[in-house]
Amino acid sequence: MEYTIYQVKGGDPDGRKFMSSDWHYNRNLRIHVGAYDNVYSGSIDGFTDAGDVLEELFEVFNIRHPADFKGHSLSVSDVVVLTEAGLYEAYFCDFDGWTEIPDFLKSEIRQCGIVKLHVCPNHCDSLFATPAHVVQTWKVDAFGNFIDEMSTDSTTHGPDDGNTWECLECGAEAEIVECLQVEVATTTSRGNAFIPVTPRGCVYWLRDGMTATEYVPIAPNDRGIPTVELDGQVFCLFELTKED
């Protein structure tokens, strides 16, 4: 049986570290992989019951830490995911035992409204050059956020939609596309998907920590349902666009 230990992310903006499942539920905080870091993985043999495995892991990760384990001793608010034969079960360490969390690894999707996005018509995954005011040129992301200065002249304000935006990779003038912005958290990545309001056969993906959007084509699956692949995880398009 394989196991993975998750502990609350550093910084802990929600104050959830070492807090019980009831504490989370009373504050409408979902216990979800997006709030956690994967701190250790391994395998364990000789057990068939999940409860026995969890108790053994609790003892090991409190008394006999593996030499390469860098997390804190297993405690309340930690989550252990057990995987066998491709199936997983996630368990939250509570004050009075373990609480199963069936949706722990399920992707988190949250719609954020309509935004305007600058995109390269040639599908380059690139930043843009655009003048800030009149004489200074900035390197910017798809929203006009400053990345780097390309000239040293003075300026009084940043770029706007009326400026010419040129792709730094191919030189083409950018297009402005209205998109539905959707925050997505998966088991491997977090970011924002931008889905054109007028279909263009693609989604633009901006992974957390990146500055340039990635062009992701929409493709039908084996049942003909439109899908997109975001960091290796496939989503049906309706999953991202359906209203809560």
Per-residue pLDDT of 90-116, as tens digits, reads 999 999 999 999 888 887 888 999 999
Asked if 41 and 84 count as a contact pair (C-beta separation under 8 A), the reply is: no
For residue 182, the cross-strand partners are: 111, 193
Q: Measure the CA–CA gap between 1 and 55, rounded to whole angstroms.
A: 14
Tokens 């992701």 belong to residue: 216
- Distance between CA atoms of residues 159 and 143, nearest Å: 9
Q: What integer pLDDT is reported at residue 32 of this predicted model?
A: 84
Instruction: Tell me how far apart the alpha carbons of residues 53 and 185 are, in angstroms, rounded to a whole number.
Output: 28
49-64 average pLDDT score: 94
- pTM for this predicted structure: 0.56
Q: What is the pLDDT of residue 158?
A: 61
Question: Using an 8 Å Cβ cutoff, are 50 and 97 in contact?
Answer: no
Which residue, chain included where needed, has tokens 């959707």?
182
Q: Are 193 and 176 in contact (CB under 8 A)?
A: no
Contact between 57 and 70 (Cβ < 8 Å): no
By the 10 Å C-beta count (0-12 exposed, 13-18 middle, 19+ buried), 61 is classed as: buried
Find out whether 184 and 107 touch, Cβ atoms under 8 Å.
yes
Lowest mean pLDDT among 52-61, 131-140, 145-154, 187-196: 131-140
